Amino acid sequence: MATRRPPETESTERNAPSVEAAFQAAPEEMVAQILDGELHLSPRPARPHTNAASRLGILIGGPFWLGTGGPGGWVILYEPELHLGPRPDKLVPDLAGWRRERLPDAAGGEETPAYYDLAPDWVCEVLSERTRHLDKGPKLRLYAREGVRHLWHVDPLARTLDVFRLEGRHWLLVESFAAEQRVRAEPFEAIEFELALLWSS
């Protein structure tokens, strides 16, 4: 079950109809998100961003989603649309993962909505100059509010990976990796991979 905020801090405020309408009308070439009731539009990611996210999805998805060379037990999705909280906030992480027992029917059926309203167990944001202020600001706080346990920040230009764990309501930086280091990081410490693979062309 998804972790929720205590009832005394639960807001009943909803997104303004004009914001919801603008979200629905966002051009397909833009990434639309609603954070704290405010619409944010970002261009589709640049090549270093897309390359790093796609490669990380393969490295993690094979062993943890498909069970190829790893333990399985996860559902790993690329750019899922998340509707979290009562407004709801609408977020699009670069990658998100749920332990399979929490999301047994990830594919859903014809009547299943396109979005997910169950907070992931892990999210990964690939940082760029255009989205860094959101990834390190409101999205960080909203993920903590919803009880996401693990968060990774990948910076393809600086060639770094920062690994965070939620402790109470605050993020703890657990490990930082850079350049060509080998990575074994929670919650996927069952495997090791070369960070340099994320930067390869």
Residue 105 has pLDDT above 80, yes or no: yes
Taking phi over 0 as left and psi of -120 to 50 as alpha, with beta for the rest, 114 belongs to alpha
**pTM metric for this prediction:** 0.90
- Mean pLDDT along residues 118-132: 95
The pLDDT value given to residue 9: 47
Tell me what percent of the residues of the chain surpass a pLDDT of 70: 95
**Edge-to-edge strand list for the sheet holding 82-84:** 38-43, 30-35, 89-91, 82-84
- Mean pLDDT along residues 78-106: 94
CA angle 85-125-4, nearest 5°? 20
Please give the domain boundaries of the chain with CATH numbers for all domains.
7-198 (3.90.1570.10)
The pLDDT value given to residue 194: 96
- Mean pLDDT along residues 9-28: 86
Residue 2 has pLDDT above 70, yes or no: no
The pLDDT value given to residue 186: 97
Confidence band (pLDDT; 50, 70, 90) for 112?
A: confident
Identity (one letter) of the amino acid at 25? Answer: A
Alpha-carbon distances, residue 77 vs 103, 122, 139, 170 (angstroms): 12, 11, 18, 25
Q: Are 127 and 95 in contact (CB under 8 A)?
A: no
Residue with tokens 């037990």: 73
* Dihedral, 31, 198, 166, 67 alpha carbons, nearest 10: 100
